[in-house]
């Protein structure tokens, strides 16, 4: 009698960057289990990224909003998922509420890290050894194996598929120029202003790239549209603002056309890494210690010698914002030219 195909449900992180850092876990699970069905439970804003991962069989969008427990909604979703007969659930967020749906779905094995008193909700408990697993991608990948088993290195790298037809449609809809090399600039960062390189620096860089023959596209979400407009205006026509004018799937496709991506520490930085694009990543208030882009073609830039950096604050607590202001466009342009 043939063995049934394994079925695993992943409860995904809530951020695009963390979702991409979880992809090595998905690849590792496919290495372990042949003919695996791997479904992912995720919020609507990360679902399009998961849909571009070849390891994912189906993305199940959650109806939850940020904050409330929403006990009844989680119970209803869990009961609806019972019929899928998952063998295992792996819960990536550390919150109590993130472990409720697999529990309500009666999934036999429910794995994750100890956190927020989840004993009982989870029955395969991992304890994090932060020194042994410094990278977030490693911490997620560890959940593919039994607790305390050594992690398998090197980790598989994230990779996203590209819809070439949608790329052509989006380029045409936005009137973008692909006759020249494309530089993509990503001026946004969800966490706060302290992670964002100044708009005047992005504009100066765009002008220099335009002189060097690049077509410069600004990519980001709806919340980045105003800063994108400001950068485009200050660039003297060198940059085209696409922020808020595409969905995340189309942003993925546009970024795949880039010769280089210059980005803050953001979700789009990890998208660029998964697309194999050369990256110049800008760090100030944050650090690359735990969540660097998983790429061999990434250059990570920060201003050395500042005792206040990284501060991990949403806004500069000292008011001078030296960590980003003194990271000059000239230095970033030099990194781009060395990549080329």
In tens digits, the chain (340 residues) has pLDDT values of: 345 689 999 999 999 999 999 999 999 999 999 999 999 999 999 999 999 999 999 999 999 877 788 999 999 999 999 999 999 999 999 999 999 999 999 999 999 999 877 889 999 999 999 999 999 999 999 999 999 898 988 999 999 999 999 999 999 999 999 999 999 999 987 766 778 899 999 999 999 999 999 999 999 999 999 999 999 999 999 999 999 999 999 999 999 999 999 999 999 999 999 999 999 999 987 888 889 999 999 999 998 877 877 867 878 776 677 888 989 999 999 999 998 7
What is the b/e burial string over 103-124, where b = at least 16 CB atoms within 10 angstroms of the residue's CB? bbbebeebbbbebeebeebbeb
Task: Give the domain ranges of the chain.
Answer: 7-142, 164-339
Contact yes or no for 58/36 (Cβ under 8 A): no
Contact yes or no for 246/238 (Cβ under 8 A): no
Which pair of structure tokens corresponds to residue 149? 């088993």
Which pair of structure tokens corresponds to residue 54? 């070849």
Q: Give the fold, CATH level 3, of 164-339.
A: Rossmann fold (3.40.50)
| Domain 7-142 identical in fold to domain 164-339 | yes
Q: Give the fold, CATH level 3, of 7-142.
A: Rossmann fold (3.40.50)
- Residue in the block written with tokens 């989006």: 170
What letter would DSSP give residue 122?
Answer: B
Contact yes or no for 77/63 (Cβ under 8 A): yes
Contact yes or no for 189/221 (Cβ under 8 A): no
């Amino acid at each position: 009698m043939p063995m049934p195909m394994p079925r695993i449900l992943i409860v995904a992180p809530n951020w695009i960057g963390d979702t991409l850092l979880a992809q090595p876990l998905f690849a590792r699970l496919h290495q372990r289990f042949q003919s695996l069905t791997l479904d992912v439970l995720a919020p609507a804003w990360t679902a399009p990224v998961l849909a571009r991962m070849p390891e994912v069989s189906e993305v199940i969008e959650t109806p939850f909003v940020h904050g409330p427990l929403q006990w009844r909604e989680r119970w209803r979703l869990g009961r609806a998922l019972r019929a899928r007969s998952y063998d295992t659930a792996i819960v990536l967020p550390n919150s109590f509420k993130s472990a409720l749906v697999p529990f309500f779905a009666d999934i036999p094995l429910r794995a994750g890290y100890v956190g927020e008193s989840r004993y009982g909700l989870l029955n395969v408990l991992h304890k994090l050894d932060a020194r042994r697993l410094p990278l977030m991608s490693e911490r997620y990948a560890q959940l593919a194996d039994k607790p305390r088993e050594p992690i398998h290195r090197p980790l598989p790298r994230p990779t996203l598929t590209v819809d070439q037809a949608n790329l052509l449609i989006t380029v045409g809809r936005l009137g973008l120029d692909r006759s020249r090399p494309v530089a993509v600039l990503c001026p946004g960062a969800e966490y706060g202003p302290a992670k964002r390189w100044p708009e005047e620096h992005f504009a100066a860089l765009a002008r220099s790239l335009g002189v060097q023959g690049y077509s410069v596209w600004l990519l980001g979400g709806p919340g980045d549209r105003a800063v994108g407009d400001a950068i485009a205006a200050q660039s003297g026509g060198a940059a085209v603002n696409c922020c808020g004018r595409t969905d995340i799937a189309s942003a993925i496709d546009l970024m795949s056309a880039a010769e280089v991506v210059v980005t803050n520490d953001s979700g789009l930085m990890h998208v660029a890494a998964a697309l194999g694009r050369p990256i110049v990543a800008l760090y100030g208030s944050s650090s690359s210690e735990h969540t660097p882009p998983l790429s061999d073609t990434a250059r990570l830039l920060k201003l050395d010698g500042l005792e206040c950096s990284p501060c991990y604050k949403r806004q500069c607590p000292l008011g001078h914002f030296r960590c980003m202001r003194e990271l000059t466009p000239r230095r970033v342009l030099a990194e781009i030219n060395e990549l080329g």
